[in-house]
Amino acid sequence: MAHSLKKLKEVILIEKIAKSFKSKDKSVVVSIGDDAAVVKKDKGSYSLYTVDMLIEGVHFKKGEDPEKIGYKAMAVSVSDIAAMGGMPKYALVSVGLPKDSALTMAQGLFYGIKEVSRKFDIDIIGGDTNRSERLVIDVFMVGEVERKRLVLRSTAKAGDHIFVSGPLGNSLAGRHLMFEPRVKETRFLGKNFKVTSMIDLSDGLGMDLNRVTEASHLGAILFEESIPKNKGVKNTRQALYDGEDFELLFTLGPQDAFKLMSGIDKKNKFNFYHIGKMTSLFLGVKMWTKDRCFVDINCDGFKHF
């Protein structure tokens, strides 16, 4: 349920309609509107469910290596599960294959799917294979999370510190297809900290931070100098809006934030970056720039630089 790549305005409207379907079932903890749906499993844990569809000509070009497409289709869903604090468990994969290259395509896709399933110990337990004019792949993933480790995007608090799990921007240079979903990171965080909110960065820090502030009814401030950038990233705009980073954006209370920051370079091998703070709703989403001024960070861009 990542919002990967730019979407039609109509599609965003449709998603809003969909969100209006409220769940009546008491075992549904979170329905449409977070990275994954959350359903009570047993006393101590929740089931997590997410789907992500990739379509030729929209999410990847015709002729793209099917192995990479298979990898990405799986990895995007793993990233959604990670963003809830959970672990992936099972996957079902639907594919639509063009007739003229069905076998070679399927083989490539399977290699990519297998790579992710092996890396994260995910069982492929079902699927549906069809003929299609254009390649389509849709991965449904089932995950699991301990009740106390579930993290939503709607539960950040004013004063919380904002972190990302890696450098941002320029992902379309190749990393958007072969990225590493942050499962180890989310499990480490859940074990050692009380993570107050989390989302995976599919549409870029600018848009996804706005999703967190909207869901949590808060504002936020980013420190431009602290935003980590990937190689080849020329400016902050790219780090904010390129999208498809698939890093985790999360918040911690002041004590936990201090604990994480003091140990970042010593106790663990992860790369967490402290990039800002949550503020109250009426302050909006801002960035404190290198030039020492505030700019608004909107979903689709920011005002001046």
The minimum distance between CB 199 and its own copies, in angstroms, equals 15
Environment class of 171 (CB within 10 Å of its CB; exposed 0-12, middle 13-18, buried 19+): buried
Q: Which of 102, 158, 261, 264: binder of its own copies (CB under 8 A)?
A: 102
The minimum distance between CB 187 and its own copies, in angstroms, equals 18
Residue 208 touching its own copies (CB under 8 A): no
Q: Name which of residues 221 to 260 contact its own copies (CB under 8 A).
A: none
Closer of 84 and 227 to its own copies (Cβ): 84
Residue 89 touching its own copies (CB under 8 A): yes
Segment contacting its own copies by CB under 8 A, of 20-28, 176-184, 229-237, 262-270:
20-28
Q: Which of 65, 99, 163, 262: binder of its own copies (CB under 8 A)?
A: 99
Spatial neighbors of 102 by CB under 8 A, at least 6 apart, are 131
Segment contacting its own copies by CB under 8 A, of 49-57, 67-75, 244-252, 295-303:
49-57
Residue 119 touching its own copies (CB under 8 A): no
The 120-159 site mask, x for binding its own copies (CB under 8 A), equals ---xxxxxxxxxxxx-x-x-x-x-----------------
Q: Which of 110, 111, 270, 273: binder of its own copies (CB under 8 A)?
A: 110
Residue 21 touching its own copies (CB under 8 A): yes
Residue 62 touching its own copies (CB under 8 A): no
Closer of 41 and 119 to its own copies (Cβ): 41
Residue 10 touching its own copies (CB under 8 A): yes
* Contact (Cβ atoms closer than 8 angstroms) between residue 257 and residue 193: no
What's the rounded Cα separation, in Å, for the pair 148 and 114?
Answer: 31
Residue 61 touching its own copies (CB under 8 A): no
The minimum distance between CB 147 and its own copies, in angstroms, equals 15
Spatial neighbors of 211 by CB under 8 A, at least 6 apart, are 153, 199
Segment contacting its own copies by CB under 8 A, of 99-107, 227-235, 269-277, 288-296:
99-107
Nearest to 273 by CA among 257, 290, 253: 257
3-class SS letters over 155-172 = CCCCCCEEEECCCECCHH
The minimum distance between CB 261 and its own copies, in angstroms, equals 34
Residue 64 touching its own copies (CB under 8 A): no
Q: Which residues would be at the binding site for its own copies (CB under 8 A)?
A: 1-2, 7-8, 10-11, 13-15, 17-18, 21, 23-25, 28, 31-32, 36-37, 39, 41-42, 47, 49-53, 55, 57-59, 89-90, 92-97, 99, 102-103, 106, 110, 123-134, 136, 138, 140, 142
